[in-house]
Amino acid sequence: MIISDRKLKARRRKDNSVKGIILSFSSVGLLVFASILIYIFKTGGGLVGYDLLISDYQDFNTDVIVNEVSGDFTYSSTLDDDEYYSNKWDVVLTDTKDREGKDIVVISYIGENSPLRDVSDLNSIVDSGFVRVNIPINSSVDSIILDDYDFIAFSKFGAETMVDIMNMGTSIDSMTLVKEGGGIRGSLITTLYLIGLTLVIAVPIGVFSAIYINEYARKNKLTKYMKTMIDMLTGVPSIIFGLMGAAIFIPFVNGTIGTSGGSIISGALTMAVILLPVIIKSTEEALKVIPFDIRTASLSLGANQTQTTFKVILPSAIPGIMTGILLGIGRIIGESAALIYAIGASIKDKVILKERSTTLAVHIWTAMSGDRPNFELASAISIIILGAVIILNIIAKILVKRVSKVSY
Amino acid sequence: MAMISKYVTKESIRRKNLQDKIVKNIFFSSTILSASFIILIVIFILVKGIAPFVSSKYISNVNLFDFLTGIKWLDGATGISTDYGVGFLIINTIIVVLISLLISIPVSILTGLFIAKIAPKRVREIFRTVVELLASIPSIIYGVFGLGVIAPVIMNIAEVLGFQSSGGLSLITTSIVLGMMTIPTITVISENSIRSVDKILEEGSLALGASPTQTQLKVLIPAAKSGIFAGIILGIGRALGEATAVSMVSGNRFSGLVFNPFDTTSTLTSRMLLGIKETTGIDYDIRFSVGLVLMLVIILANIILKVIMKKVGNLDDN
Amino acid sequence: MKNEFEIKDLNLFYGDFQALKNLSLDIETNKVTALIGPSGCGKSTFLRTLNRMNDLIDSCKISGDINFDNNDIYAAEYDVIYLRTNVGMVFQKPNPFPMTIYDNVAYGPRCQGIKDKRILDKIVENSLKSAALWDEVQDRLKKSAMGLSGGQQQRLCIARAIAMEPKVILMDEPTSSLDPISTQKIENLIDELKKDYTIIIVTHSMQQAARISDSTVFFLLGEIIESGDTKTIFSNPSDKRTEDYITGRFG
């Protein structure tokens, strides 16, 4: 065909612009991924830390009494903008925010000779009187009552006003200190309990089912039906599993163990059903790779089916089973909708298996619901969850690579 | 061999066989248990879902017809009598999912094409990994992202265009978030389908003087049609069932069909999650009915789409 | 008698393996040239160098000259798409696209920007007629090409290639997957086509080569052992290896 040079060039140009479109559409996925990472790190990065992981969620209030009266002090260093010094009590109060983003006032400096070095806990009485305690640096102070209720300073007034009021009184009758909460220890422990309990239930059932289907069952219609039934579980949305948990497992656990309402146990039972197809599939894949003759060899040596399964087949299938377990753990960590129904959504500091609690993911959901969504906390927990899921995926991939390298 | 025979007795063999029998039964029971869950789910949700309409344990039963066609949902919280309806939820759910497909289908197919045919080796690996990671991000995190990034952006766009928006919680935000979530599913399947197209079709096209891009768009993608379609069906199923992220960004509207992209909306799944913490009695149980409707919608969608897929496939082969 | 292709000192490597060794050959216009030789000796590889289909293989390296119409087709500035619009190819297994018969034939022209329906209609009709398929499909042009028989599909592929009005048609064992009757039809077709096109055909069947070609080239282990007028090669080959192959002593 005779094609002019001009036409060829026009064709080239059109081609390149189409290529450009394909390229830009393809980068959307990359863009989304990068945006999510950037957002959660930017918003929650500051919050992630050791004390986030081990702190309680609830704030803990302590009432203390200051045993000495005010005096006269001086402060030698310079003060930042939101720091305010009380020369009567030799302390610096600072405006800052807590983990939930609320405004609070903390005691950021207590002088060597400050009266606040000598305080006692009003709620703990022993024979000799109240127990002496130390005020930790950066404790949050909620209210200060001076001179028999003559002067009362609340944290909502702000640090500057609190200092002014403090300076007006001579004795502090009671001071309410707040050990701030907002920590996720409870949810972290809940997640770990849930993982453990779920695996204990799901792995044996799943592995045994896969072994039966692959090693024992005859290839008849019944086996086919059972496989289809198990496969269908993969297409069920999480929230339906949640309904199932609420409809079946919560009453079941209530009836048998005597709990009331949701519990981590009912959640584990629900998650076990969700994990079942994952574990079964991974185990099946692992079993299929094992050459058939190994079984024949074992049986011909006089081993029975059980010995063959446990001594020869299972050990070789372990990497594959591990892969399924790792993927399952990732699923548990990320699950939200099902657990909201199957356990509930109350954030707890004391985690009890028979009661409800939140996992990390459900904690996010609770933190984001309501009028004041806590983006920082949600992002911080997201970082933890995402980090865990990615690491689990990487380990699973390495396992898969190792398994395929093994030659028989 | 006299050593071994001492251990191989009638007794030991009998024991071994018994062990086999017991273990086999344990394995079999596990399998039956695993297989029965899907049936249990169906039965229990069916029973609990139908209860509000027929059971006598409630003060008053819900009318099934009103329920299915109702365009509002009043849960009696404000003192007005209850009026449960999922009709509008069904329509809104479908609208939300369809719009999300407008985003995810083109992006996924082209990304699949890019990974399968255009990208150089290193880039291909990077993209595959990114898609895999996107697939493993839990929906709650998509919800946080939607609330924290997408919603404010939409709110600003709405302002500029002169629309009211409730802090960015809207139909379009929900569709964007759902679109993002379904991209990995459809991309992976599209990539596989395109890669599996017989090479001689590709060669045939190039030999006729078509450019690689023309070949990809005119021959490869159409040839991969059925695989891509199957991927889309899978994506639709996931989108219909998504609960957490949707409940966070949709705005949870109580009534009405929503077509304005900046209006708040609600879906079957978001309705199931709303107010879950403080409900009892019929208000709690009716959620099972909504779940039942959701399952029916998903099953119906699958059937309809599979029929369409067959029809389109037949058209091709005469 | 012009030469359509002039090949000089062509060497081709797949990685370290040398598949073609120092080939020099002229392809005459409007003649059928048959490439014969045992399997794996480079016939198909050579054929694919002529429309640069080897470009699709990363490890393939080429040295030497291939001139088409006095242009070195492997020169950096030579447009490979332009080459392929002038040098068409029919493959061993028929590979119609999963589209209608009409769309298959119109595919090439459409890619080059031809949109006018009347022009396309004419091209489709002429090409199908030239491929001796028109009578069989003229009332079902809009039906899927996948519904045709193997022989019909291959003729469709020939029509598809002809629609581009190439100067040369390369055929890589076009009848090896077809039944004898379809083979016969296509051989007759080739005889007709050479009036307007130059045809280079790789064939495993010496009888086919003897039947339809004007020139024959004998390949062995990546080298051209002998080439020339078909009648001469088959009745009086000058190289013993050629004679051995033709008389069936090997291959």
pLDDT (tens digit, 9 = 90+) per residue, A289-320? Answer: 888 888 888 888 888 888 888 988 998 899 89
The answer to whether the CB of A217 falls within 8 A of the CB of A227 is no
The answer to whether the CB of B143 falls within 8 A of the CB of A43 is no
Q: Does C69 touch chain A (CB under 8 A)?
A: no
* Residue B182 C-alpha, separation from nearest chain C C-alpha, in angstroms: 28
Range of the domain at A174: 61-179
Long-range contacts of A142-145 (CB under 8 A, 24+ apart): A142/A61, A142/A176, A142/A177, A142/A178, A143/A175, A143/A176, A144/A172, A144/A174, A144/A175, A144/A176, A145/A172, A145/A173, A145/A174, A145/A175
Q: What is the pLDDT of residues A34-90, one digit of tens each?
A: 999 999 999 988 888 887 888 888 877 888 888 888 888 888 888 888 899 988 888
pLDDT(B67) > 60: yes
Query: In A290-370, which ranges are continuous DSSP H helix?
Result: 292-300, 305-307, 314-334, 337-342, 360-368
A295: left (phi over 0), alpha (psi -120 to 50) or beta: alpha
**Edge-first strand listing for the sheet containing C3-14:** C17-28, C3-14, C60-68, C71-72
Position A329: which residue type? I
The answer to whether the CB of A281 falls within 8 A of the CB of A207 is no
A394 found inside a domain: yes
Determine, for residues B291 and A26 on separate chains, whether the beta-carbon distance falls below 8 Å: no
Q: Give the torsion sign (CA, A157, A159, A164, A165).
A: positive
Determine, for residues B211 and C98 on separate chains, whether the beta-carbon distance falls below 8 Å: no
Identify the bridge partners of residue C62 per DSSP, sorted by sequence position: C12
Determine, for residues A237 and B298 on separate chains, whether the beta-carbon distance falls below 8 Å: yes
How many angstroms from the chain centroid is the CA of residue B36? 23
The answer to whether the CB of A295 falls within 8 A of the CB of A308 is yes
* Residue B318 C-alpha, separation from nearest chain A C-alpha, in angstroms: 32
Section B124-132 average pLDDT: 93
Residue with tokens 């064939």: C203
Number of residues written out for chain A: 408
With contacts defined as CB-CB under 8 Å, which chain A residues touch C113?
7, 10-11
CA count, 13 A, side-chain hemisphere, C5 = 30
Give the 3-state secondary structure of residue B255.
strand
Determine, for residues C113 and A1 on separate chains, whether the beta-carbon distance falls below 8 Å: no
The answer to whether the CB of C137 falls within 8 A of the CB of C155 is no
Q: Give the torsion sign (CA, A49, A50, A52, A53).
A: positive
The β-bridge relationship of strands C198-202 and C32-36 is: parallel
What is the number of H-type helices and E-type strands within chain A?
14, 9
C248: left (phi over 0), alpha (psi -120 to 50) or beta: left
Interface test with B, best of A37, A306, A400 (most B CBs within 10 A): A306
Which of A153, A179, A205 is the C-terminal boundary of a domain?
Answer: A179
Nearest Cα to B168, choosing from B98, B251, B52, B102? Answer: B251
Chain A's closest residue to C83, CA to CA, is: A1
Percent of chain A at pLDDT exceeding 90: 39
Note whether A318 and A362 are same-domain residues.
yes
The answer to whether the CB of C38 falls within 8 A of the CB of C206 is no
* Residue A391 C-alpha, separation from nearest chain C C-alpha, in angstroms: 35
Determine, for residues C81 and A8 on separate chains, whether the beta-carbon distance falls below 8 Å: yes
Q: Does B55 touch chain A (CB under 8 A)?
A: no
Helix axes A375-405, A5-44, angle to 10 degrees: 120
Determine, for residues A11 and C113 on separate chains, whether the beta-carbon distance falls below 8 Å: yes
How many whole angstroms separate alpha carbon A74 and alpha carbon A89? Answer: 10
Tell me yes or no: is domain C3-96+166-246 CATH 3.40.50.720. Answer: no
Which of A148, A179, A210 is the C-terminal boundary of a domain?
Answer: A179
* Residue C48 C-alpha, separation from nearest chain B C-alpha, in angstroms: 10
* Residue C109 C-alpha, separation from nearest chain B C-alpha, in angstroms: 9
How many whole angstroms separate alpha carbon C48 and alpha carbon C67? Answer: 14
With contacts defined as CB-CB under 8 Å, which chain B residues touch A240?
41, 45, 241, 291, 294-295
| pLDDT level of residue A239 (50, 70, 90 thresholds) | very high
A24 found inside a domain: no
5-44 in chain A: CB under 8 A from chain B: 11, 15, 18-19, 21-23, 25-26, 28-30, 32-33, 35-36, 39-40, 43
Give the 3-state secondary structure of residue B186.
helix
pLDDT(A322) > 50: yes
Note whether A286 and A321 are same-domain residues.
yes
How many whole angstroms separate alpha carbon A232 and alpha carbon A235? Answer: 6
Note whether A295 and A166 are same-domain residues.
no
Determine, for residues B37 and A344 on separate chains, whether the beta-carbon distance falls below 8 Å: no
**CA dist list (Å): B73 to A402, B78, B245:** 54, 12, 21
Interface A:C, Cβ pairs < 8 A: 21
Give the 3-state secondary structure of residue A175.
strand
Chain C's closest residue to B201, CA to CA, is: C95
The mean pLDDT value of chain B amounts to 89
How many whole angstroms separate alpha carbon A207 and alpha carbon A310? Answer: 12
The answer to whether the CB of A286 falls within 8 A of the CB of A321 is yes
Q: Which two tokens stand for residue A21?
A: 């479109």
Note whether A143 and A202 are same-domain residues.
no
| pLDDT level of residue A406 (50, 70, 90 thresholds) | low
Contacts of residue C232, defined as CB under 8 A and 6 or more positions apart, other chains included, come to: none
Percent of chain B at pLDDT exceeding 90: 64
Determine, for residues C109 and A11 on separate chains, whether the beta-carbon distance falls below 8 Å: no
Q: What is the pLDDT of residues B274-316, one digit of tens each?
A: 877 777 777 788 889 999 999 999 999 999 998 988 887 776 5
Q: Which residue has the higher pLDDT, B74 or A335?
A: A335
Chain A's closest residue to B188, CA to CA, is: A29
Question: Which of A258-262, A322-326, B261-265 has the lowest average pLDDT?
Answer: A258-262
| pLDDT level of residue A389 (50, 70, 90 thresholds) | very high
Q: Output the domain CATH number for residue A354.
A: 1.10.3720.10
Domain range annotation of chain C:
3-96+166-246
With contacts defined as CB-CB under 8 Å, which chain B residues touch A30?
127, 130
Determine, for residues B317 and C107 on separate chains, whether the beta-carbon distance falls below 8 Å: no
The mean pLDDT value of chain A amounts to 88
Q: What b/e sequence results for C207-224 when a residue is b if at least 16 CB atoms lie within 10 Å of its CB, and e otherwise? A: ebbbbbbebbbbbbebeb
Note whether A111 and A249 are same-domain residues.
no
Q: Does B287 touch chain A (CB under 8 A)?
A: yes
Q: Does B184 touch chain A (CB under 8 A)?
A: yes
Q: What is the pLDDT of residue A241?
A: 95
Nearest-Å Rg of the Cα atoms of chain B is: 26
| pLDDT level of residue A155 (50, 70, 90 thresholds) | confident
Give the 3-state secondary structure of residue B83.
strand
Which of A128, A145, A179 is the C-terminal boundary of a domain?
Answer: A179
Q: What is the pLDDT of residue B318?
A: 44
The answer to whether the CB of A334 falls within 8 A of the CB of A385 is yes
Note whether A87 and A133 are same-domain residues.
yes
Q: What is the DSSP letter of A136?
A: P
* Residue C86 C-alpha, separation from nearest chain A C-alpha, in angstroms: 6
Determine, for residues B137 and A386 on separate chains, whether the beta-carbon distance falls below 8 Å: yes
Q: What is the pLDDT of residue B80?
A: 60
Note whether A151 and A197 are same-domain residues.
no
Q: Does A275 touch chain B (CB under 8 A)?
A: no
**Edge-first strand listing for the sheet containing C32-36:** C87-90, C168-172, C198-202, C32-36, C215-220, C223-229
How many whole angstroms separate alpha carbon B257 and alpha carbon B260? Answer: 9
pLDDT(B93) > 90: yes
Q: What is the pLDDT of residue B70?
A: 80
Q: Which two tokens stand for residue A10?
A: 């026009």
| pLDDT level of residue A151 (50, 70, 90 thresholds) | confident
* Residue B148 C-alpha, separation from nearest chain A C-alpha, in angstroms: 7
The β-bridge relationship of strands A91-97 and A103-110 is: antiparallel
The β-bridge relationship of strands A83-86 and A91-97 is: antiparallel
Note whether A113 and A209 are same-domain residues.
no
Nearest Cα to A303, choosing from B21, B11, B20? Answer: B20
Per-block mean pLDDT, blocks of 10 residues, chain C (251 long): 88 92 93 91 92 89 91 89 92 92 94 91 94 93 92 95 94 93 93 93 92 93 92 90 85 58
The answer to whether the CB of B264 falls within 8 A of the CB of B258 is yes
Give the 3-state secondary structure of residue A10.
helix
With contacts defined as CB-CB under 8 Å, which chain A residues touch C79?
8
How many whole angstroms separate alpha carbon C172 and alpha carbon C170? Answer: 7
Q: What is the pLDDT of residues A253-274, one digit of tens each?
A: 988 988 888 899 999 999 999 9
Domain count of the fold of chain A: 2
The answer to whether the CB of A54 falls within 8 A of the CB of A185 is yes
Q: What is the DSSP letter of A348?
A: -
Angle A17-A20-A25 from CA coordinates, rounded to 5°: 135
Nearest Cα to B73, choosing from B239, B261, B282? Answer: B282
How many whole angstroms separate alpha carbon A360 and alpha carbon A377? Answer: 11
A55 found inside a domain: no
How many whole angstroms separate alpha carbon B289 and alpha carbon B90? Answer: 13
Q: What b/e sequence results for B207-229 when a residue is b if at least 16 CB atoms lie within 10 Å of its CB, and e otherwise? A: bbbbbbbbbbbbbbbebbbebbb
Q: Which residue has the higher pLDDT, A149 or A386?
A: A386
Note whether A173 and A194 are same-domain residues.
no
Interface B:C, Cβ pairs < 8 A: 72
**CA dist list (Å): B43 to A248, B40, B101, C151, C157:** 10, 5, 32, 56, 57
Note whether A227 and A165 are same-domain residues.
no
Determine, for residues C97 and B223 on separate chains, whether the beta-carbon distance falls below 8 Å: yes
* Residue C207 C-alpha, separation from nearest chain B C-alpha, in angstroms: 27
Give the 3-state secondary structure of residue A109.
strand
With contacts defined as CB-CB under 8 Å, which chain C residues touch B318?
143-144, 146-147
Nearest Cα to A338, choosing from B96, B147, B242? Answer: B242
pLDDT(B124) > 50: yes
Position B198: which residue type? D
Determine, for residues A389 and B138 on separate chains, whether the beta-carbon distance falls below 8 Å: yes
pLDDT(B175) > 90: yes
User: Which chains form contacts with chain A, at 3 or more CB pairs under 8 Å?
Assistant: B, C
Residue with tokens 């040295």: C63
Residue in A32, A212, A390 closest to B30 by CB: A212
Chain C's closest residue to A8, CA to CA, is: C82
Note whether A244 and A163 are same-domain residues.
no
Q: What is the pLDDT of residues B226-247, one digit of tens each?
A: 999 999 999 999 999 999 999 9
A29 found inside a domain: no
A103 found inside a domain: yes
The answer to whether the CB of C151 falls within 8 A of the CB of C182 is yes
How many whole angstroms separate alpha carbon A313 and alpha carbon A286? Answer: 9
| pLDDT level of residue B79 (50, 70, 90 thresholds) | low
* Residue C170 C-alpha, separation from nearest chain A C-alpha, in angstroms: 15
The answer to whether the CB of B256 falls within 8 A of the CB of B71 is yes
Residue in B200, B206, B218 closest to C84 by CB: B206
| pLDDT level of residue A128 (50, 70, 90 thresholds) | confident
